[in-house]
Amino acid sequence: MGRNNEKGTKEDLCRYRLEISKADLRSAMLLLEAGELRGANNRAYYSIYHAISSVHALDGNAYKRHKDALANFNKAYVKTEIFSRELGRKISEAVEIRHASDYDDFYIATREEAEEQIETAKELLRQIETYVQGRL
């Protein structure tokens, strides 16, 4: 099966990334339920990342590295208080936890931590959906 290389509008890309974010959030919740905490942290992070990427899509911005996408979201949307600094802090925490979960040997993920990451993803997704609705 080949890849579909059709181009859509910035709005189409934004909506698509929001759907991916929601799918990742559902996966995170399923993994949490199954006791797969490292996987839940990973999927919660990707839900956050794709939600942030949906906002960048509306602006016509593209970043090759996650680090750049996150830094630019922080600069353009958190420091300007379009999204709260508290939410920005939670996003940074999710990045650190996902990195530890995925790459650190002997890292032990906790249920509480996975639940927090999922809550951060839910909160961000809610706020970004509201923000995007106002721009579409």
In the predicted structure, residue 1 carries a pLDDT above the cut 90: no
CATH code of the region 10-135: 1.20.120.330
pTM recorded for the entire structure = 0.91
**Cβ-contact 119, 29 below 8 angstroms:** no
**pLDDT per residue as tens digits for the range 83-124:** 999 999 999 999 999 999 889 989 898 999 999 999 999 999
Domain ranges of the chain: 10-135
Mapping DSSP to helix (H, G, I), strand (E, B) and coil, where does residue 123 land?
Answer: helix
| Amino acid letter, residue 129 | E
What is the pLDDT averaged over residues 27-38? 97
Give the other-Cβ count within 10 Å of 66's Cβ. Answer: 16
pLDDT value of residue 6: 54
Please provide residue 65's backbone torsions phi and psi, each rounded to the nearest 5 degrees: -110, 140
Segment 57-64 shows an average pLDDT of: 92
